[in-house]
Amino acid sequence: MLEDGRVLKGKIAQVAGVADDPTDPRPLAGEVKVTPILLVDDGLRRTYVAKADVDPGSPPTPDDGREVKIRPWQNAAESGGGLVSVGPSLAIEPWDPFGRRVYHMQTPDGPLSIIQGITEITPRYVRVEGLNGARRPIRWDMRLATSSISPEQLSTILHQAIDTDDYEGRLQIVQLYLQAERYPEAARELAQVQTDFPERTELKDNLRQLRQLAARSILSELQLLSDAGQHTLVQGLLPRFPADDVAGETLQQVREMLNEYEQLAARKEQFLTRLNEEIGKVEDPVHRQLAEAFQAEVESDLTYNTLDRTASFVQLMDDEDLSAENKVALAMSGWLLGSTQAIDNFAVTSSLMEIRDLVLEYLREDQAVRRARLLADIRDLEGGTPERVAQILKLIKPPEAIPEGSERSPRFYELGVELAAPSGPVRYLVQLPPDYDPLRSYPTIVTLHGHGYSPELQLDYWAGGLDPERGRVGQASRHGYIVVAIDWLEPHQVEYKYSLREHQAVLGTLRDAMRRFAIDTDRVFLTGHDIGGDAVWDIGLAHPDLWAGVMPFLATAGKYTLRYRSNAPHVDWYFVDGELNGTNIEDNAKQLDFYLRPGIPATLVEYRGRGHEPYHDEIQRLFDWMNRRVRRPPPETFDCKVMRPWDSFYWWLEVAGLPERAMVAPAAWPPKRGQRPTQIRGRIYQNNKLDVFHQADRTTVWLSPDIVDFEKPVQVELNNRRIGPANRFISPDLGVLLEDARTRCDRKHAYWAKISEP
Taking Cα atoms as reference points, which of 386, 375, 329 lies closest to residue 754? Answer: 386
- Span 146-160, pLDDT tens digits: 999 999 999 999 999
Position 207, amino acid:
L
- Span 492-530, pLDDT tens digits: 999 999 999 999 999 999 999 999 999 999 999 999 999
- Span 22-74, pLDDT tens digits: 666 555 555 556 789 999 999 999 999 999 999 887 765 666 568 999 999 99
Q: Are 142 and 92 in contact (CB under 8 A)?
A: no
Residue 290 has pLDDT above 80, yes or no: yes
Q: In the prediction, which pLDDT does 422 show?
A: 81
Q: Which residues face 488 on adjacent strands?
A: none
Q: Are 417 and 428 in contact (CB under 8 A)?
A: yes
Asked which of 131-140, 456-465, 592-601, 735-744 is least confident by mean pLDDT, the reply is: 131-140
Helix, strand or coil, per DSSP, at residue 114: strand
Q: In the prediction, which pLDDT does 20 show?
A: 86
- Alpha-carbon distance of 174 to 186, in angstroms, equals 5
Q: Which helix (H) or strand (E) holds 407?
A: strand 407-409
Helix, strand or coil, per DSSP, at residue 474: coil
Q: Which helix (H) or strand (E) holds 115?
A: strand 110-121
Interval 262-287 mean pLDDT: 95
- Span 313-326, pLDDT tens digits: 999 999 999 999 99
- Span 90-112, pLDDT tens digits: 999 999 999 999 999 888 888 88
Interval 201-210 mean pLDDT: 82
Peptide bond preceding 758 in cis form (omega within 30 of 0): yes
Contacts with 485 (C-beta within 8 Å, 6 or more apart), sequence order: 428, 429, 430, 431, 447, 448, 449, 455, 456, 458, 459
Residue-by-residue DSSP string for 34-102? ---EEEEE-SSEEEEEEGGGB-TTSPPEEP-S----B-----B--SSEE-S----EEEEPPP-TTSEEE
Taking Cα atoms as reference points, which of 518, 520, 551 lies closest to residue 625? Answer: 551
- Span 344-379, pLDDT tens digits: 999 999 999 999 999 999 999 999 999 999 999 999
Work out the pLDDT band at 586, boundaries 50, 70, 90: very high
Q: In the prediction, which pLDDT does 28 show?
A: 52
Distances (CA, A) of 204 to 132, 195, 704: 44, 11, 64
φ, ψ of residue 141 to 5 degrees: the values are -105, 100
Residue 78 has pLDDT above 90, yes or no: no
- Alpha-carbon distance of 191 to 375, in angstroms, equals 70
Q: Are 184 and 130 in contact (CB under 8 A)?
A: no
Taking Cα atoms as reference points, which of 600, 614, 741 lies closest to residue 37? Answer: 600
Interval 195-210 mean pLDDT: 85
Domain ranges of the chain: 9-62, 81-224, 262-384, 407-632, 638-757
Q: In the prediction, which pLDDT does 31 show?
A: 54
Q: Are 89 and 138 in contact (CB under 8 A)?
A: no
Quick one: CATH architecture of 407-632? Answer: 3-Layer(aba) Sandwich (3.40)
Interval 561-583 mean pLDDT: 95
- The stretches of 197-310 forming alpha helices (DSSP H) are 203-227, 231-237, 248-281, 285-301
Q: In the prediction, which pLDDT does 65 show?
A: 61
